[in-house]
Amino acid sequence: MPSFLLAWYKRYLFKALAFTFSLIFVLIVGSQSFSSTSLSNQILWDTYGVPHIYGQTIPSAFKEFGWAQMQSHGNLLLSLYGQARGRAAQYWGEEYVESDQWILTMGVPDRARAWYAAQSPAFRSYLDAFASGINTYAQAHADLIDDSVEVVLPVKGEDILAHLQRVLNFTFIVDPTQVANLSHQQPKAGSNGWAISPQRSASGNAMLLANPHLPWSDLFLWYEAQITAPGIDAYGATLVGIPVLAIAFNDNLGWTHTVNTFDGWDAYELKLANGGYIFDGKVRPFESETFSLKVKQKDGSLSNKELVVRRSVHGAVFAADKTVALRVVGLDRPGTLEQWWDMARSQNFQQFQAVLQRLQLPMFTVMYADRAGHIMHLFNAQVPVRQQGNFADWEKIIPGDTSKTLWTKIHPYRDLPRIVDPDSGWLQNANDPPWTTTFPPAIDANNYPAYIAPRSMSFRAQRSAKMLFEDDKISFDEMVAYKHSTRMELGDRLLDDLIPAANKYGNNIAQRAAKVLQTWDRQANADSRGAVLFALWVQAMDLDTAFSQTWSEKSPRTTPDGLANPQAAVATLEAVAAEVEKTYGALNVPWGEVFRLKYGNVDLPANGGFGDLGIFRVLDFIAAKDNRFQPVAGDSFVAAIEFSQPVKAMALTSYGNASQPGSTHIGDQLPLFAQKKLRPVWRDSKNIKAHLVKKEVF
């Protein structure tokens, strides 16, 4: 049989079997009525597209979770797994060549196979079950999966671990753009996290606020779910394609993550000699491996590109203006997923901390609270043990010709900055170093190596700490309200200098702009007038040189402050004000008229803005049509939890809990976002039943 006919026949047979399986499944599901969640393996889908997964066994719960993720994000999930294999160009063409080169150069596929073999037999079976759920859904609903991504099927357990590496080690810790630019500047990713103890809680119960800010697309999308199986009943969210919850709570405890100020990679400059490189006075040969990278052409044929990967004792080698070798933490620690799983299964602080001590998760601050009233901030990271230097030193290119600069160990758990139950009664992190997690300060930077974390505090972190510091008794409703705060801390620092300077030095438009800024509420609410003018003025300023008083460790929450050059600031205001008036017809154009919540079929006035402005309610925008802006990152998954009896929780997945074409849950939570509201979390069978849309029984 000709190859093209054989391919057509296989595809036809697959679709036919899928239709048959789907029909049988629909008949089975349709005959079921709602019953006790303990009697069967099932997924209960609520009105916001959140799957409540019940497994009689742990493998069955994993399988259902794979099924659920495919139903909500099938095209995206398969695309991500295909890229993690390093075969995306083979599947989808030339535009994925650089992605494949990155994945293969960093050794992801081979390491994924090694990690899979290193899993405990039980957890390996869970990964297999998750993959089985993906494949089973694809067989049952092939008509709902895009034809272009079906080539990734079937998914295997090792694909999950390849995806995990791509997300954590080779995107969050280091990504290709950082290597290309030899820069440690972090990708646009951040978060807020709060933990409030009973002494500062109005109800006397500990509270937790989870609030990651990630891009609203690709591998950064959050997926909200509840997983119930023997030994676990946890609610939270994870990134698409990850088979366990990464941020979660149960009846007794919960945690969230923020991206921490952590340096987990280094670029070593190599001195080349005689076809190798110099190391400790001797010439060493490179290890070399050649890959045949297949690339799909427009006519469907495949071309081959040869990729030669060289490695030094440091790691993979990249050659541009300089020949550098990349060293990344965590590549010898395959237990991240099992650690997250066991964190969600923990029932008290002792159990939870014992799991953290494995130190398999390569990065992320852990902010924790529990029913017993404990709160904790852990600077969780696989920090290399370095012989010398501070944080800034290790962000530079490191000499690679000596073993004196080559780190081989990481700091154990006991070495990491950590505070449990501080006297203040509250903890916060807004991607600032751990030294500013609470006030009075509870972690002394002088007690740790200078390379662990920098010393700084952003305006967003200052705004975060200010709200907590100024409220002696915080209620659950107040915590939710604070979470939605759009006040610009930067405005509070600069307007008292800018407004009088504009009136003194400025022309007519500068003085009119000053009047607008004087009456502005200093927030980025949809109806805030003056926020657009101020934000665009800040964008035009060089904030590195703008302040008369720079940031000081002695005054971390009130500096930097003041204008270094008021006349230059006014000149910038004149230019920006003229452009705003010309573009939008008024200097006091409402924030929500210019900044829009445009996602899918939704288009609403936005509230919130750039964290650099000192806004706690983060939204990052890009230019859209008609001089408007639309969000691409920021508040993504939000959960507010009070460890009362029963637990009180509200949540929001800003962009909705699905990306699959045709889903009604794409953008369906944005109206609540626009209203600064969260929605109740339904965890018990009574509430789930009251909001049940669909039940699937397995």
Contact 316, 326 (CB under 8 A): yes
Answering whether pTM is above 0.85, one says: yes
Q: Specify which residues 618 forms β-bridges with.
A: 609
**pLDDT for 189:** 67
Contact 69, 238 (CB under 8 A): no
Q: Domain spanning 3-174: which CATH class is it, in words?
A: mainly alpha
Half-sphere exposure of 396 (CA within 13 A, CB side): 9
Q: Specify which residues 293 forms β-bridges with.
A: 305
DSSP conformation class of 169: I
**pLDDT for 483:** 98
Q: Compute the distance between CA of residue 42 and CA of residue 696 in angstroms, rounded to an integer.
A: 5
Amino acid (one-letter) located at 95: E
Phi, psi dihedral angles at 193 (to 5 degrees): -150, 135
Contact 72, 65 (CB under 8 A): no
**pLDDT for 320:** 81
Q: Where are the alpha helices (DSSP H) in 318-411?
A: 336-345, 349-356
In sequence order, the 6+-apart residues with CB closer than 8 A to the CB of 298 are: 93
Q: Compute the distance between CA of residue 662 and CA of residue 665 in angstroms, rounded to an integer.
A: 9
**pLDDT for 39:** 54
In sequence order, the 6+-apart residues with CB closer than 8 A to the CB of 92 are: 82, 148, 296
Give pLDDT < 70 ranges for the chain: 1-39, 186-189
Q: Compute the distance between CA of residue 62 and CA of residue 505 in angstroms, rounded to an integer.
A: 66
**Domain spans in the chain, listed from the N-terminal domain onward:** 3-174, 190-260+333-395+404-483, 266-328, 489-615
The CATH label, of 3.40.50.880, 3.20.20.70, 1.10.390.10, 1.10.1400.10, for the domain at 489-615 is 1.10.1400.10
Amino acid (one-letter) located at 649: A
Taking each helix axis as running N to C, give the angle between helix 121-140 and helix 336-345, from 0 to 180 degrees, rounded to the nearest 10: 90
- Whole-angstrom CA distances from 665 to 50, 67, 70, 332, 652 are 9, 17, 14, 39, 12
Q: Compute the distance between CA of residue 296 and CA of residue 95 in angstroms, rounded to an integer.
A: 10
The CATH label, of 1.20.1740.10, 2.40.50.1020, 1.20.1540.10, 2.30.120.10, for the domain at 266-328 is 2.30.120.10
Look at residue 548 and give its three-state secondary structure: strand
**pLDDT for 184:** 79
Contact 484, 675 (CB under 8 A): no
Strand 51-54 relative to strand 42-46: parallel, antiparallel, unpaired? antiparallel
Taking each helix axis as running N to C, give the angle between helix 459-469 and helix 489-505, from 0 to 180 degrees, rounded to the nearest 10: 110
Amino acid (one-letter) located at 635: D
Contact 573, 517 (CB under 8 A): no
**pLDDT for 25:** 35
**pLDDT for 38:** 54
The CATH label, of 3.40.50.720, 1.20.1260.10, 3.60.20.10, 2.40.50.140, for the domain at 190-260+333-395+404-483 is 3.60.20.10
CA nearest neighbour of 460 among 634, 596, 604? 634
Amino acid (one-letter) located at 118: A
Q: Compute the distance between CA of residue 329 and CA of residue 168 in angstroms, rounded to an integer.
A: 10
Q: Compute the distance between CA of residue 83 and CA of residue 90 in angstroms, rounded to an integer.
A: 10
Tell me, rounded to whole angstroms, the distance of Cα 369 from its chain centroid.
Answer: 20
